[in-house]
Amino acid sequence: MKVSVSVHGRFHAFELAAGLHKRNTLSGLMTTYPGFAVRRLTGTDMPVHAAWWLEAKRRLMSGSFDPVALAKAFGRFAAKNLPVGSNLLVGWSSATLEVIEPAQSRDIKVIIERGSSHIAHQTDVLTRAYADRGLVFSETPPAIVEREEAEYEAADSIAVPSTFAKRTFIERGISENKLIVNPYGVDLVRFKPSKREPGTGPVKILSVGRVGIRKGIVDLITAFQPLAGKAELHLVGPVEPVMRKLLNAMPMEGVQLRGPFAADELPAIYQDADIFCLPSLEEGFPLVLLQAMASGLAVVATPETGAEDIITEGTEGHIVNAGDSRGLGNALAALVEDAGLRPQMGLAARARVENGWGWENYVERAMVGYQTLLG
């Protein structure tokens, strides 16, 4: 088995490629990151085919760069640079369409890696959520939706990270036999529990990621308000422009908007918290969920985060339906008010991820799925 990996950006592709390279099964990584950055981030000498100019354009032009143009340009790049000797291509969704036919014409099986729910499901959920707040959802261009659905149809298989994501594909008519479910992994050395003694101040509730509607932040702030005074809510991540007007109209007592963060700050951010909350309306299997659990935090999350695959209700944390701010508030209150329950669940969370949820485990599961496809 020889695998090529194609990704416009980084995502978790570098961990996958590094694991495959370690096992001598990687033909090459195609990415928009420059080769020196890939090797620095992975600590490997893996073969890299880099469309670095596309990443430079995306960063320099920021929000004005057309995501459809990026996807098409990278797809064409991948088609021209597909490593010789591969019999399997793993390509990230929306930027793989142009390489599928050339790969299959060389008897290379193609797996589309989709990190969230089916894109039509995602778009429908967010369109409704924005409309409920008098807003228009426009983050995903229709052309991206069309590209992804064409990729789903043409690919030999689709890899998704959670049972929740799998359900959304089946509901949209994709055969279960075409789907590979493989939850992500976590760096168990980098993310570990704090050695600090429990503090006497307010309990710190942490949420990490973009501060926006998709992440359920409106529900989280609403649920938190009765706890203001007993706890603090720390929102770590960039605030989406559409959220600023909503935040200005909401009670923000006890809420701290901490803004963007550097990757090397993340372990300390988790270690300084007591509870992790991710009430997303739609996800796939966010890495922050596993990072928080590895850091020994009790977790409150929605099924849409993939939490059902990793959390047993009442053991590592609580699972609350998306959009249920009352249920979310009750789950958070139970943890805020019970100083003994928080570390108990946090220890269970750490033990859970230690049992098969490292990146090595992820790569091993991926290879089993790949080998099954190849026959």
What are the tens digits of pLDDT across the range 224-279?
A: 999 999 999 999 999 999 999 999 999 999 999 999 999 999 999 999 999 999 99
Kindly state whether residues 8 and 156 are assigned to the same domain: yes
pLDDT of 93 above 80: yes
Within-domain flag for 196: no
pLDDT for 196: 77
Looking at the fold, whether 167 and 47 belong to one and the same domain comes out as yes
Cα-flanking dihedrals φ and ψ of residue 196, to 5°? -70, 150
Domain-located, residue 272: yes
Number of domains in the chain: 2
Assess contact for 290 and 185: CB atoms under 8 A.
yes
Q: What average pLDDT does the segment 324-348 reach?
A: 97
One domain for residues 108 and 9: yes
| pLDDT, average across residues 49-58 | 93
Domain that holds residue 329: 203-354
Higher local confidence (pLDDT), 260 or 62: 260
For residue 88, which of 70, 67, 112, 69 has the smallest C-alpha distance? 112
Span 301-326, mean pLDDT? Answer: 97
Residue 300 is assigned to a structural domain of this protein: yes
Inter-CA distances, 279 with 90, 208, 370, Å: 30, 11, 32
Q: Mean pLDDT throughout 139-165? A: 97
The answer to whether residue 282 sits within a structural domain is yes
Average pLDDT rounded to a whole number, residues 209-217: 97
Q: Supply the pLDDT for residue 227.
A: 97
Residue 120 has pLDDT above 80, yes or no: yes
Q: Based on the domain organization, do 179 and 226 belong to the same domain?
A: no
Both 68 and 152 in one domain: the answer is: yes
How far is it, in rounded angstroms, from Cα 291 to Cα 278? 12
In 3D space, the residue among 204, 93, 88 whose CA is nearest the CA of residue 146 turns out to be 93
| 10 occurs within a structural domain | yes
Query: Are 236 and 363 within one domain?
Result: no
Distance CA 323, CA 373 (A): 37
Please give the radius of gyration of the chain, using alpha carbons only, rounded to the nearest integer: 21
Range 79-116 burial, b when 16+ CB lie within 10 A, else e: beebbeebbbbbbbbbbbbbbbeebeeeebbbbbbbbb
Q: Is 80 exceeded by the pLDDT of residue 64?
A: no
Q: Where are the alpha helices (DSSP H) in 314-354?
A: 325-336, 341-354
Please count the helices (runs of H) and the strands (runs of E) in the chain: 15, 13
> 33: domain CATH number?
3.40.50.2000
199 falls in which pLDDT band (50, 70, 90)?
A: low
Report yes or no: 6 and 28 within 8 Å, Cβ to Cβ.
no
Q: What is the rounded average pLDDT of the residues 37-49?
A: 96
Task: Mark whether 40 and 175 lie in a shared domain.
Answer: yes
pTM of the model: 0.95
Give dist(CA 137, CA 134) in Å, integer.
10
Q: Specify if 341 maps to a domain.
A: yes
Please report whether residue 193 resides in a domain. no
Q: What CA–CA distances, in Å, run from 308 to 148, 165, 304, 315? A: 26, 11, 9, 12
